[in-house]
Every structure is written in structure tokens, then in C-alpha cells.
Amino acid sequence: MFSVNTLFFSCRHTSSLATYVRKKMLYMKHRNKKNVCIIYGQEASKVADLKTSPTITFNLKREDGTWFGYREVEKLASLSGIHLRTGCFCNPGACAKYLGLSHSDLVSNFEAGHVCWDDNDVIKGKPTGAVRISFGYISTYQDAEV
């Protein structure tokens, strides 16, 4: 059974890892100075706060401004032994909000054949989901460097 101190230190540890990775992701730039990572649900001004969630939801952009599809990221990560989640995480409303998808975008995506768990990760130049990484009490800074 976990004590209150164990839970406190576990939360502090996972928040610290996530804060470390968020900062690294925010500072990643292409040669043209454009961001590589777009992080959702976390204000950049609050990244230093160690009370942040140990979960980071994001998408990646190419240097030309087009999106890497989340399925592409998932497949490449799995080749390196990295486990992550992709898609809308069973929350299509929040997904649409953070991705900036309008009602007509959602209808158009559905008409194009997009459903949960498919490979249609970018439709008409917009992502249809995101990538999510999470840290647990057993995660290390070495894991965060991968």
C-alpha cells in the first residue's frame, strides 16, 4: 500500500519529467525557426509549474508547415521501442477543440471515411488526432531523453 508521502513524491517525479520534456519540445525548432511540436492543453506560461499533468498531448510539424500524421509518429516510435498513444483518446469533443476542427471539418472527415483507429491521420491538411505520451512513477529521465 502506498503512503501519502509515496504518492506525493510519485506525483512530483512524474510532473517533473513531463515539465522537462514539455520544455524540450517547446524549444525544438526547424532551421526556419518554426516550431516542431505543437502541444495541446497546456499553456506555455504554466510549463514550469510542477503541478502539471504527467501526460503530454501534441502533434509534430514538418519544416514546410505540413503535419506529420499521428499514425506515422506512432509507427516510427514503435520501431524504437517507444510506447505512446495516438488518435482522439475517446474524447472527440476535446480533440476537435484543440485541433481547431469545425463541425463541417468533422462531417467532411467522416464522409472521407475517417473513423476511430484508422490511418486517416491528416485530412485536407489538418490532423484528425494527436500523439500522447505519459510518465509513470517508474519512468526515468533516461526515458524522457529517448
Active site residues: 90
Please say whether the beta carbons of 41 and 130 come within 8 A: no
Q: What burial class does residue 122 get, using C-beta atoms within 10 Å of its C-beta: 0-12 exposed, 13-18 middle, 19+ buried?
A: middle
Helix (H), strand (E) at residue 40:
strand 37-40
Residue 69 CB coordination number (10 Å): 21
Q: Position of cell 509534430?
A: 60
* Residue 144 backbone dihedrals phi, psi, to 5 degrees: -65, -25
Output the DSSP codes for 82-128: ---EEE-TT-HHHHHHHHT--HHHHHHHHHTT--TTSS--EETTEES
